[in-house]
Chains A and B, each alone.
Chain A
C-alpha cells in the first residue's frame, strides 16, 4: 500500500515539475519589457539611494516596508517560541568544553563580534547587511553557551538584556520610518541629510541605521530562540 502511495506521489510531482518546466520555457524575457521596474532600479539605484549594493538598495529603500514585515516575522516567531517553551526554571549549567577550547574561543570572540558589526555596517557597500550580520551576532551567544556552559551565557547576557536588544532594534526601525514622515512626509523614506558621496561608510541615508536595527533584532532574536529551546534539555539533565 505504502509503495503505491510513494510511486503515485513521485508521478504527481514529476507531472507538476514537467508543467512547471513547460511554463518556464514559455516565459518571455522580462528584461525586454520597457516598463519593468528592473530597468529603473539598475539605472537609477545609486543616484537615488546612494547605496552601491543594489540588493541592499531594494531591501532597505525601495522595499523597506517588506523588510520590516520580514524582520517582524522573526520577531513573531521568537515571541511564539518563548510563549510555548518558556519555563520558569533556571537552567542548570553544563561545564562547557575543555580549557583549550575556552581559551581559544575567548581570544576569537572579539573578532567574531567585529566581523558581525562589519557586515552590518557595510551592508550598503558590500554583500551582507542586517539579516546576515545579525545571524553572526546571534551565533556568538549560541557558541558561548556551548563552550562555556549556559550559566555563563545566562550571567553575561540575561534574557532581559536580549529582550531589550531585540525590541530596541525593532523600535529603531520603526523610529527611522517615523522620522521619515517628519522629514519628507512619507514612512520609511530615505533620510538624505545623512548622505555623503556614495562609497563611504556613512552614505546611503538611513540604510545603515535600518541595517543596525535589523541586525540587533535578528541577533538577539536568534539567541532567544536558542535559549528557550535548550532550557528543557537542561531541566532533564538536572533530574538525572
Chain B
C-alpha cells in the first residue's frame, strides 16, 4: 500500500475545488495556488520515479492502492505499472508546461479556465491509474465534460458548433463504452481489471465479440479513427491554441492508453486474433491514416491541417500497436511520445504566430516568420520532425514503425507510412515557405494592424521554443528512452504480470 498514488488524483482535484473558493477572497492567491499546485503535482510524479528508480530500471515496478481498504474484486483498485508510469509522466510534463503557457496566453482573469484544466488533469491521472472498468468510464466522462467548455472557450459561432459536435460524439462514444461496461458486469459479475482478465476467456464467443465491439466502437469514436474522423478537426482547431495542444497532444493519448490497457491486458489480444478483428482494425486505422494525410493536404487552414495530421498519426499508432509484436508496441509507444511532443510544440508555436495574422488561412501567414525568427525556426524543425527527418524524434519513431511493419511483412502498412511521409512533406513545406515569404507592405506595418492579446509574451515564446528544443534533444538521445518504453512494452505484452500483481496479495 502506497498512499502516493492517490495524491496524483487528489492534488489536481482539490486544486480545482479550491480555485473558486480562493477566488472569492483574493485574486492574487489564486495565481499562486495555480502555479504551486501544478508544480506540486509534477513533483509527485518525479518523487515516484526517484523513490522507485531501481525497480524501474529492472522493469519490475508496480504500485497498487486499495481505496477504502477493500480487497480487489470488491472495491476499487488503483495501480501503476510501467505503462501507467510512462503515460503519467508524459501527462504531468506536458500539463505543467501547457498550464504555464496558458498563464502567458490566456492570462489570469479567467478563473474557471484553470478549474477545468485541473479537472482534466485529475481525470487523466484517474484514467491512467485506475484498475476498475466502471471507474474508467466515470473518469472518461469527466474528461469529456470538462474539455467540452474549453473547446467553446472563444464563445464565437465556430467554437460553439465545434464544442457541440465534440460533446455529442464524445458522449456517443462514452455511451458505447458504458454499454460495454454493463455487458461486462452482467457477464462476469465483476468490474476489476485483473478479475475480468482472469475469467474473460471463459465466456461464450458471442458475448466476447459483443463486448469487444462495443468497446472498440466507443474508443474509435473518441479517437477519431476513420469512419468517425469528421468531428475531430473542427473541435481541435476552433479552440485557443493552448487547448488545441491539450486536446490534440495529450487527451487523445489517454484514449490510446485506454485502448492498450483494455485490449492487451484486460480482454487479452487473443480474442482479437481469434475473431480476425486485428486485421480489420489495422486496415481501418491505415485508411484513417492515409485519409488524414490527404485531408490535411487539401486544407487551407493551419490549425485544421494540424488537426487532420493528428487523425493521420493516431491511425498509424493504432495500426502499429495492433500488430502485437514487441517491436511494434515499442514503436507505437515511441510514436505516442514523439507525436505528443511535436503536436504540443506545433500548436504552441502556432498559437503565438496566429496572434499576428488576421485569420488562420495560409495566405494570411505570409511573412509571419519575421515576427519571431527563432520561434519559427523551432516550428520548422518540429514540422521536419513531423515529416520524419533526422535528427528529430519523429524520425526515430517513424523508423521503428517502418521496421515493425516490415518485421511482420505487412507491406501495405510500410507503403502507407512512406506515402504519408511524402504527403506530409508537401503540406508542411507549404506553410514554411509562406512563413518566410516577404510581402510588399513589409512585415512591421502589417503586423501592427492586429492587436496581440498576450498576457505575458515572453512565457509564450519560451514555452514554444522549449518544446521545439525538446523535440530535437529527445530525438538525438532517443536511445535513453528505450529503457522505460521497453518496460512499458513488457507490461503490455505480459498481462499475466498485471493480473498476478493485483490479485496475488
Contacts and interface: CB of A to CB of B under 8 A. Distances in A.
Interface of A: 19, 22-23, 26-28, 30-31, 33, 35-38, 40-41, 61-66, 68-70, 72-73, 75-77, 79-84, 86, 160, 163-164, 166-168, 170-171, 174, 177-178, 180-181, 184-190
A178 B9 CA distance: 12
Contacts of A75: 16-17, 119
A170 to B, nearest CB: 4
Contacts of A63: 75-76, 134-135
Given A160-B24, A186-B69, 13 more contacts: A23-B210, A27-B187, A35-B189, A36-B188, A36-B189, A40-B73, A72-B13, A73-B145, A83-B149, A164-B21, A171-B17, A187-B10, A187-B65
Contacts of B126: 69
B403 interface: no
Given A79-B115, A79-B149, A160-B24, A174 B190 contact: no
B94 to A, nearest CB: 20
B273 to A, nearest CB: 21
B269 interface: no
B18 interface: yes
Interface of B: 1, 3, 6, 10, 13-14, 16-18, 20-21, 24, 65-70, 73-76, 110, 112-113, 115-116, 119, 122, 126, 134-135, 138-139, 141-142, 145-146, 148-150, 152-153, 155, 183, 185-191, 195, 199, 204, 206-207, 210
A62 B189 contact: no
Contact of B68 (A82, A84, A160, A186): A186
29 contacts: A19-B210, A26-B207, A27-B187, A30-B187, A35-B189, A35-B195, A37-B191, A62-B70, A63-B75, A63-B76, A64-B68, A65-B67, A65-B76, A66-B76, A72-B16, A73-B138, A75-B16, A79-B112, A80-B146, A84-B153, A166-B20, A170-B17, A174-B14, A181-B6, A185-B69, A187-B68, A188-B68, A189-B67, A189-B68
Contacts of B70: 62
A186 to B, nearest CB: 4
Contacts of B20: 79, 163, 166-167
Interface of A: prevailing SS: helix
Contact of A77 (B24, B68, B145): B145
Contacts of A190: 68
Contacts of A35: 73, 189-190, 195, 199
Contacts, number: 161
Contacts of B153: 83-84
Interface of B: prevailing SS: helix
B74 A69 contact: no
Contacts of B14: 171, 174
The 9 lowest CB-CB distance pairs between A and B, nearest first, are: A36-B189, A80-B149, A69-B138, A83-B112, A76-B146, A30-B189, A167-B21, A170-B17, A189-B68
Contact of A84 (B134, B145, B149, B186): B149
A60 to B, nearest CB: 10
Contacts of B18: 167, 171
A79 B119 contact: yes
Contact of B183 (A23, A76, A177): A23
A84 B152 contact: yes
Contact of B21 (A26, A62, A168, A188): A168
Contacts of B142: 69, 72-73, 76
Nearest to A187: B6
Contacts of B210: 19, 23
Given A27-B207, A62-B68, A73-B141, A38 B189 contact: yes
Given A62-B75, A174-B17, A26 B206 contact: yes
Contact of A30 (B65, B115, B188): B188
Residue among B24, B66, B75 facing the most chain A CB atoms (10 A cut-off): B75
B21 A187 contact: no
Contact of A28 (B67, B110, B116, B187): B187
Contacts of A31: 189
Contacts of A28: 187
A70 B13 CA distance: 13
A66 B146 contact: no
B148 A80 contact: yes
Contact of B189 (A33, A72, A164, A180): A33
B347 to A, nearest CB: 21
A66 B17 contact: no
Nearest to B191: A37
A185 B68 contact: no
Nearest to B139: A69
Contacts of A64: 67-68
Contacts of B122: 72
Contacts of B146: 76, 79-80
B210 to A, nearest CB: 5
B1 A66 contact: no
A69 B144 CA distance: 13
Contact of B116 (A76, A174, A177, A187): A76
A171 B67 CA distance: 18
Contacts of A69: 126, 135, 138-139, 141-142
Contacts of A187: 3, 6, 10, 65, 67-68
Contacts of B138: 66, 69-70, 73
A63 to B, nearest CB: 6
Nearest to A70: B138
Nearest to B112: A83
A178 B16 CA distance: 16
B116 A79 contact: yes
Contacts of A83: 110, 112-113, 116, 149, 153
A150 to B, nearest CB: 21
